[in-house]
Structure 1
Amino acid sequence: MADTPLPPDRETLTHTLQATGLPAAIVAHLAAQARPAVLMPTTAGDEDAIPAGASKLGGRPDLPQGMAWPLRPPYPDADRRAQYYNRKADDLLANPPSWARTKGVEWFSNEHRAKAQAVAKDFPLAFFGQFNLAELAQAPGFDPVFPTEGRLLVFYDYWIEPEEFTPEAAVGWRVIWDPSPVAELVRAPVPQALLAISNDEWSCVFPPAPVTTQHSVITPMPFNDKGWDAFPLEDNAEFTAYDAWFCAFGTPDEKNRDNHQFGGFPQPLQNGLQARSQLAANGLNCGGNIWHTAQAKALLESAAQWRLVVQIGADPHARFADVGAYYVMMREADIVARRFDQARVVYQCD
């Protein structure tokens, strides 16, 4: 569990960095690079008591009149995905593992068959949350690169959980900026297809968890950020000092921590947030040996343009599992141009 909250301002960040013994020039450089962000703690909520357009995780989205619940189309590589799920279904029946016997091998096998069919047709995306930008913009930690009106809504194929490193996975999420007036919003009913695959043990429909009073922080740059230039990572003493300081803030898959964040630097659970986003967004499958090709190397030169929009971590109120976190990533130029359809949603776990 994290023992140290993220610093509330640059002065505090500088003071705690100085205590690591890092050289003054490096401390000043890292403090200057740190980005403001807004943390978004949640509480348990009643859907009917949450105002239209308010920031929340889970529940039902507030959509403009006439806008349907977002569906993803069939995955472009649906045949490959269907073969994968059908093979898993066959393997379960042929060699039932001990963990599957408690519920019934056929139940798990049938779920894989259902996924094999679902990837080849339109299917509703799970609603992760909506974030009221006008309210968030009142916090000092709100980065003015983002819009200051409307809402940002995040939908994701939680059932399939598409890998972020393939171009084809991009149909598995939708990030929508909706500037509609609040008076024009309608709280959408949950599609039956999502309800049909949800139960008491696992669900694609999350309980509503409204965001309570948000607060501002300054977020330090992770050493695996593509913009890292504070010191060579081969310097063991400086790396060890910074890593221990950074890790003390914790990770967004922990309990009793503010895991949800708008803007700033992320607290990644793995490497590759920017690099994988850059390659996959440019049509390269980076799940293999593409990294050493000339095309990949050329693209990676500008991977630092990708930055965090929203980080969604473990949440006991919305019942997001505490086994990872979701990161909405965008190029800064796309944020400025309000091209939120270009966002990528990356899931990471330890």
Structure 2
Amino acid sequence: MFDTPAQAHQVIEERFAPDLVEMVTGQLRPAIVFSTKDADRKGGSRIGGTPDLPKEIEWPRRTIPANVDEIAGRAGEPYDGELKTHLAAGLPYAFFAQVDLGEAAGLGEAAKLLPNEGRLLFFYDMVAGPFDTGTESARVIWDRSPADALSHAAIPTDLASAAVAYRKMVEDANKQYGLQPEARLAGAPEPGTPYGGSARPMALKAALQLPSYSSIEFQASGRLEKTYSADQAVVGGAQAFSQAYSELSDDTEPQTQLLGAPQPVQDDPRYDAVVSSEFKTQFLSGDDWAKNRDMIMEKAKDWRLLLQVEVPDWMQENSEGTVYFLIREKDLEERAFDRVVAVYQQT
């Protein structure tokens, strides 16, 4: 990520031959990133903690799925039993992030796709979501209440109890195997659980990014994609171009961001959104994917990244994975945030 066009151009000019600079800079696109700040405020941007809600909006709770056994079965033994118990409990979603849309609007072009008032509140089922791509593992709420009507929501009792039980399980496992908790710097946030992360007030900042190699944007970049692929195909070569590009595009180190092009851990998560939405399934067989490849890739262009959250960043804990909140461009224009699809990926 780059803070300014000037910075982006300087870094790119330092890394690439003059005849390649224009090709690379031509792929720069806006995104919004998060930076920590000291002061929290009602309605402000935040990762983790609890949302700010008016009285008329309740903390969303996941409906118990009709196919609990099927979802649990995707986890395999012995985790399937725990997942079945979790789904049957109908717990509230974990709160991931709050985005102040007025703050975002002040960033100009980078936020042009978003509403310019209120807040977006992002919730996710971190326990079952990795096994249940689709609309039911997440909730995104657009709240337009004035800031003076908000209050810090209390964590629902059953969600708090689940977090306590999780910490007890980790503590017992550490004792059983003689492990010590990871050392933490003084003043570091309390580590979270799959049921919630520590509250961290955030400032939004406009940035520029280069699309990662696995993203739709990169695959459609023409000369850039051809140059990158040709460089990687040279056996025994230095692969200087592809390595430099991967470093600058955060290809190996995704981060939490709003809008822009997703930074895939695997393939572009928008393909998963299409499979889930169009085929009502989690995965396609190799034959079915090949048969429907052109349709999937075409429909994936209709989807936009709304928010990408790094799970270790959210939990402030040594964990894995990235959660992508994705929405069709038409649904974003219509502010139909109930149609957001959540995709989880990990290495």
Per the shorter chain, which TM-score range? 0.7 to 0.9
Over 3 Å counting, the alpha-carbon distance change for 1:19 and 1:50 in structure 2 is closer
Structure 1 residue aligned with 2:221: 229
Corresponding residue of 1:101: none
Q: How does 1:1-350 map to 2 (within 5 A)?
A: 6-21=1-16, 24=19, 27-42=21-36, 50-83=40-73, 88-89=77-78, 113-120=81-88, 122-140=90-108, 142-163=110-131, 166=133, 169-199=134-164, 200=167, 201=170, 203=193, 204-211=195-202, 213-227=203-217, 228-231=220-223, 232-233=225-226, 235-237=229-231, 240-249=239-248, 251=250, 259-289=255-285, 290-294=288-292, 297-313=294-310, 318-319=315-316, 321-350=318-347
Structure 1 regions of 5+ residues with no counterpart? Answer: 1-5, 90-108
Give a deviation string over 1:50-71, Cα, whole Å, max 9, x none: 3211111111111222211101
Displacement of 1:247 after TM fit?
Answer: 2.8
Change (3 A) 1:241 1:302: farther
The root-mean-square deviation of aligned C-alpha atoms, in Å, is: 3.0
Measured after TM superposition, the shift of residue 267 of structure 1 is: 2.5
Q: Does the C-alpha gap of structure 1 residues 27 and 341 become closer, same or farther in structure 2, counting only changes over 3 Å?
A: farther
2:215/2:264 contact within 8 Å kept: no
Which residues of structure 2 form unaligned runs of 5+? Answer: 171-191, 234-238
Q: How far is 1:146 from its partner?
A: 1.2
TM-score normalized with structure 2 length: 0.77
Q: Is the 8 A contact 1:37 1:142 kept in 2?
A: yes
Label 1:253 to 1:60 Cα distance change in 2 as closer, same or farther (>3 A). Answer: farther
Give the whole-Å Cα distance in 2 for the aligned partners of 1:194 and 1:246. Answer: 42
Cα deviation, residue 133, structure 1: 1.1
Q: CA deviation at 1:151?
A: 0.8
TM-score by length of 1: 0.77
User: 1:253 Cα deviation (Å)?
Assistant: 8.8
Aligned-pair identity in percent equals 25
Q: Give the distance between the partners of 1:193 and 1:78, measured in 2 at CA.
A: 19
Deviations 1:246-292, CA, capped at 9 Å, x for gaps: 332475996xxx93222222322221312111221223425231312
Seen in structure 2, the aligned counterparts of structure 1 residues 50 and 245 have a Cα distance that, compared at 3 Å, is: same
Structure 2 vs 1, CA of residues 9 and 147 (structure 1 numbering), >3 Å: closer, same or farther? same
Query: Are residues 253 and 27 of structure 1, via their aligned partners in 2, closer, same or farther at CA, if it must alter by over 3 Å?
Result: closer
Letter in 1 for 2:136: V
Contact 1:252–1:325, Cα closer than 8 Å, also in 2 = no
- What is the identity, as a one-letter code, of the residue corresponding to 2:137? G
Q: What is the CA deviation profile of residues 188-222 of structure 1, one whole-angstrom value per residue up to 9, with x for unaligned ones?
A: 221122122213346212211111x4332111122
User: Does structure 1 retain, via aligned residues, the 8 Å contact 2:130–2:345?
Assistant: no
Give the deviation of 1:236 after TM superposition: 2.0
Task: Give the deviation of 1:40 after TM superposition.
Answer: 0.5
Question: Distance between the aligned counterparts of 1:157 and 1:348, measured in 2?
Answer: 14
Q: Is the 8 A contact 2:216 2:268 kept in 1?
A: no
Distance 1:284 1:311 in 2: 23
Figure out how many residues of one structure are paired with residues of the other and give that number.
310
Q: Residues 115 and 253 (structure 1 numbering): CA distance in 2 closer, same or farther, change over 3 Å?
A: farther
In structure 2, distance between residues paired with 1:250 and 1:17: 11
CA contact (8 A) 2:304 2:326 kept: yes
Considering fraction of residues, name the structure with more helix.
2
